[in-house]
């Protein structure tokens, strides 16, 4: 199972890169980083929201504090396979993530209010509060991507991930249903995320400047929501 830790606190910086820029960063990173233990992986997420999409509508307004809830798997799970229920919070520029693992079946029943969490903890107490505060939480969008991840040889808190083939759909909202949907990125694009606990390494900062790569505000869920709005209005579905 990916990333054993259940709590995270870090900065997450996002960039949209071309295939050439991605290759240049990857080539340089070989001197300072190594591939994640699991190498390339497929990540599937079902985001939960209120019926009026309160969470994502607030998120795209760029408030000081925002939060999201999702169920996540690495690969397409079966009902008895372990998945993560994740509560992701962002205060100013710092990202905090809490998550617990349970089977897909348990997670679906828990998030739909049909049963209590299988095992209680401080993290599940936060999840319980969230579900009580935002009543009638339900699945809102499925998002998948192909991810390549790297971490620092000398600093394990430094991570670089490249997400490509980002797909979304607002129906058939189950991790069990497989990977399909509409693309969020243009052909050849990747979403690069640099995850750090402190300052960015100089070698990486210099390379970004050399390649003309600049930070962007990019939320997979946020872009999927905006594409959903365009679809409702009769426009193009691609972000």
Which residues have a Cβ under 8 Å from the Cβ of 72 and sit 6 or more positions away? Answer: 43, 44, 45, 46, 83, 84, 86, 99
pLDDT in tens, 158-170: 999 999 999 999 9
Q: DSSP secondary structure string, 56-77? A: HHHHTT--SEEEEEEEEEESPP
* Overall average pLDDT of the 2-11 stretch: 65
Predicted local distance difference test score (pLDDT) of residue 234: 64
What is the average pLDDT value for the chain, to the nearest integer? Answer: 91
pLDDT in tens, 135-185: 899 999 999 999 999 999 988 889 999 999 999 999 999 999 999 999 999
Question: How much of the chain is helix, strand and coil, in % rounded to 5?
Answer: 25, 40, 35
pLDDT in tens, 38-60: 679 999 999 999 999 999 999 99
pLDDT surpasses 80 at 232 = no
* Overall average pLDDT of the 101-113 stretch: 95
pLDDT surpasses 70 at 239 = no
pLDDT surpasses 50 at 226 = yes
Domains of the chain: 7-232 (3.20.100.30)
């Amino acid at each position: 199972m990916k990333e054993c830790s259940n709590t995270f606190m870090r900065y997450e910086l996002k960039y949209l890169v071309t295939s050439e820029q991605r290759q240049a960063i990857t080539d340089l990173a070989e001197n300072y980083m190594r591939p994640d233990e699991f190498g390339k992986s497929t990540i599937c997420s079902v985001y939960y929201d209120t019926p009026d999409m309160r969470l994502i509508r607030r998120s795209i307004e760029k408030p000081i504090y925002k939060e999201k809830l999702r169920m996540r798997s690495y690969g397409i799970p079966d009902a008895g396979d372990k998945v993560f229920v994740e509560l992701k919070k962002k205060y100013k520029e710092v990202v905090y993530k809490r998550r617990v693992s349970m089977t897909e079946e348990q997670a679906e029943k828990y998030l739909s209010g049909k049963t209590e969490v299988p095992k209680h903890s401080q993290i599940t107490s936060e999840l319980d509060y969230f579900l009580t505060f935002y009543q009638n939480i339900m699945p809102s969008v499925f998002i998948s991507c192909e991810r390549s991840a790297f971490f620092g040889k000398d600093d394990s808190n430094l991570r670089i991930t490249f997400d490509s083939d980002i797909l979304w759909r607002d129906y058939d909202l189950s991790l069990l249903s497989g990977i399909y949907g509409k693309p969020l990125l243009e052909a050849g694009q990747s979403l690069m995320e640099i995850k750090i606990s402190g300052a960015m390494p100089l070698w990486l900062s210099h390379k970004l400047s050399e390649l003309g790569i600049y930070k962007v505000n990019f939320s997979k869920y946020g872009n999927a929501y905006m594409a959903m709005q365009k679809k409702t209005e009769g426009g193009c579905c691609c972000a």
